[in-house]
Structure 1
Amino acid sequence: MKVCIDTSALALSGAGVRRVLAETAQAMSAEATDDGIDVSFFPFSPRSYSGGGHRSGMGPVREIVRPGIEKSLDAWTRLRYPGVDRLLGGADLYQISEFLPYPVRHVRQIAVVHDLVAVRHPEWCAPSSISWQRRRIEYIAEHALHVICPSEPVKESWLAFSGWREQRATVVPWGVDGSFRERGVGEIEHVRDRLRIRKPYVLHVGTIEPRKNLAFVLHAFERATKHFSREMDLVFAGPKGWRTGQLEQALQFTNIRDRVRLLGAVAEEYLPALMSGASCVVLASREEGFGLPALEALACGTPVVTTQAMALPQALRPFCVRIGGVDEEELADIMVEIVDDEDAAQQARTEAAPLARARTWSHVAADMRKVYLQFR
């Protein structure tokens, strides 16, 4: 059985979907199996791309589609002609792109649905992305035979949106790369020095955008600074998304501007040490399809504070301190408590970390192949 996976989303630099695709593609390429499934990749890009393809073990992605082509792709998707079937290497099953889906006329199709934020809460999405995200979701509902979701909440949202039977959706939780493990003091100090982090710190990892609720984190941290037993900095690690002005405006009216660090996009090789060195990782997103940074922080042995929106695997939820809403005082109290709680840090290192690291991308790839086998 031949399965072709569209790798267009490798061009979405910094996006979580790109990381998931890169990791699963790498695992698919590396694993030798006897299940009779031959996996190939359809690597054309919606814009210029370099770098990530090497990490996924597939080499650079060819740039066939030019920048600014989204409208043409949308029209192409609606017309479904001409189809790209002949470019899929005789595939029996095609996994639809995380970007705009390219029209396939005869090959059976499945898809990965990371979340439905564009449908449920378009106000949290960049206006430029809402149209194509909705178009993709509508295309999947009409043409795909099955979807893979990273969590039960996403599956439930998908079934409610699509009206599909439950049997047509499978939950495959994401995994952790082996590099995410507790790092030694020397490596942590090296990374802190490179990033110019001088004080102990609370860390947030993720794109700077409204959905991440970063002004809320900032205001809660400002409250907490009055009660920490030592001086702490707040570090934001992640690329700029859209409407970054919300956080920038909040920073203008805070009294702790000198204790907040905006690192921007951080090299992936620095993330394990950056997470290992944090007193805690705080992720207060309004909605997440999974919450990969939380899983990675736990794998590094670092305590994690999240909202109920973080859809982590059930076994790991007891190891996260979960806040109920957007109460700044509640989050501030939790940060103060967890920063000085050596028992919480010890539990994260000895109990949560082994559990988080047990779910590798090889396991994810194996579970996805089981889904493919349903269409043999």
Structure 2
Amino acid sequence: MSTTVLLDATSIPADSGGVGRYLRELVPELARRDDLVLHVACQRRDVPWLTRDAPGAVLHPAPADTTSVARRLVWEQLALPRLARRVGADVIHSPHYTMPLVTRIPRVVTLHDATFFSHPELHGRLKGPFFRRWIRLASQRATRCIAPSQATADEVARWAGAPARPIVVSFHGVDTERYSPGSRAREAEMRRSLAIGEAPYVAFVGTVEPRKNVGPLLDAITRLAERRPELAPRLLLAGGRGWDEPVIERLEAAAPGAAYRWLGYVDEQLLPSFVASSTLVAYPSVGEGFGLPILEALASGVPVVTTDRLAAPEVGGDVAVYCEPDAASIENALEALLDDDARRDELGRRGRERGLTFTWRRTADEHAAVYAGAARRRS
């Protein structure tokens, strides 16, 4: 017997960061399943790619004004439950913390991380209280909550109190065809498009926000370039503008010959080649609910330097290189890896093997099981 699911994808941001990448991969996998009837509420701008990549889903474009966060939340509370009743949904999946509060239809909520509690200084003055409130509500009132790592599930329980029901851990996957060593075949095209020349580089992928710890990374690569200019490749940063204003000012003020360069948001078509063609990926984040850039580097056969904070070790396993989040430790880890060609090759090979075990199909299987269980609770 199939389960009818209404998935609310209206929270996908325009630049597809974070939750957008999760849903861009998950929704097509869910739409292919025979045991689900999938309805997707979406922003109008997302209709083209959903039509192309998830032809099995029934799309319900939301009103144009729901691109406003405040109006989207009102729509979620008032109109989403009505839509769910109209399509005969057995389950509503809210994939980004918030959910409709007044409905008898079972609700599944994805909680991506709990750093709003553990690292409040890394978030904006309004975002922290907002998301802390919704995490508490979801953990107590949702039929089921999904977290992308055990670290996130544990942190939610630690900070928000014991959840009403156990949180289901479902790792994200990675597209191992796009993120693969084979993506280096497009390196020349990627370099031309991004105007980055032919020199080797260290890659960073992520929004410029405080928890990504970009400031110490800039310090580390600058010091390394000053001490050993013959060793240190330039650091190229691919990611949208966040709210780490001091770091953004540094990036924007960087001289043409600086040890780092901010590329801004890099198109998704170029990103796999950008990652695969790098010497290594540096991602010293202090608070990841999962850490997709780590997994994408591994799947691309590229060694990655990260920290052992929160979920990163669940993704990187024993093939990532771990450091402390301070500049000196990052510098030492980068230098040791850049000095050792054989180790980089070995870590790249083992990383690719590990990356192949993280599939979006498995993620979809686990989500479908959660939907079915939530639907049974209603009946």
- Please state which band the TM-score falls in when normalised by the shorter chain: 0.7 to 0.9
Residues 215 and 246 in structure 1, CA contact (< 8 A), matched pair in contact too = yes
Q: How far is 1:363 from its partner?
A: 1.1
* Counterpart mapping for 1:1-376 below 5 A: 1-32=3-34, 37-45=35-43, 52-54=49-51, 56-57=53-54, 62-64=61-63, 66=65, 69-71=68-70, 84-88=81-85, 89-98=87-96, 100-164=98-162, 168-178=166-176, 179-183=178-182, 185-198=184-197, 199-225=199-225, 226-227=227-228, 229-230=230-231, 232-249=233-250, 252=253, 258-309=258-309, 311-312=311-312, 314=314, 316-326=316-326, 328-375=327-374, 376=376
CA offset digits 1:244-301 (Å, max 9, x no partner): 333423775x788533221111111211111111111011112010110000001001
- Aligned pair in 2 of structure 1 residues 290, 166: CA closer, same or farther (>3 Å)? farther
Q: How far is 1:20 from its partner?
A: 0.4
Number of aligned pairs?
367
Q: How far is 1:48 from its partner?
A: 5.8
Distance 1:71 1:230 in 2: 49
Q: How far is 1:202 from its partner?
A: 0.8
CA offset digits 1:189-242 (Å, max 9, x no partner): 221222122221111100011111111000011111122544521100001112
Q: Classify the secondary structure of the residue corresponding to 1:5.
A: strand
What one-letter code is carried by the residue in structure 2 that aligns with 1:358? T
What one-letter code is carried by the residue in structure 2 that aligns with 1:28? L
TM-score, normalized by length of structure 2? 0.86
Could you list the runs of 4 or more consecutive aligned residues of structure 1 that deviate by over 3 angstroms after TM superposition? 47-56, 58-61, 67-77, 80-83, 85-88, 126-132, 228-231, 249-252, 254-257, 312-316
Distance 1:248 1:81 in 2: 41
Q: Classify the secondary structure of the residue corresponding to 2:306.
A: strand
Distance 1:126 1:26 in 2: 32
State the identity %.
Answer: 25
Distance 2:146 2:20 in 1: 16
Q: How far is 1:14 from its partner?
A: 3.1
Distance 2:42 2:194 in 1: 34
What one-letter code is carried by the residue in structure 2 that aligns with 1:233? R
Distance 1:81 1:301 in 2: 46
5+ long unaligned stretches in structure 1 = none
5+ long unaligned stretches in structure 2 = none
What one-letter code is carried by the residue in structure 1 that aligns with 2:246? G
Residues 224 and 332 in structure 1, CA contact (< 8 A), matched pair in contact too = yes
- Aligned pair in 2 of structure 1 residues 334, 70: CA closer, same or farther (>3 Å)? closer
Q: CA RMSD in A?
A: 2.9
Q: Classify the secondary structure of the residue corresponding to 1:43.
A: strand
Q: How far is 1:104 from its partner?
A: 4.1
Residues 298 and 355 in structure 2, CA contact (< 8 A), matched pair in contact too = yes
Residues 280 and 304 in structure 2, CA contact (< 8 A), matched pair in contact too = yes
More moved, 148-157 vs 1-10: 1-10
Distance 1:209 1:189 in 2: 30
- Aligned pair in 2 of structure 1 residues 184, 10: CA closer, same or farther (>3 Å)? closer
- Aligned pair in 2 of structure 1 residues 196, 135: CA closer, same or farther (>3 Å)? same
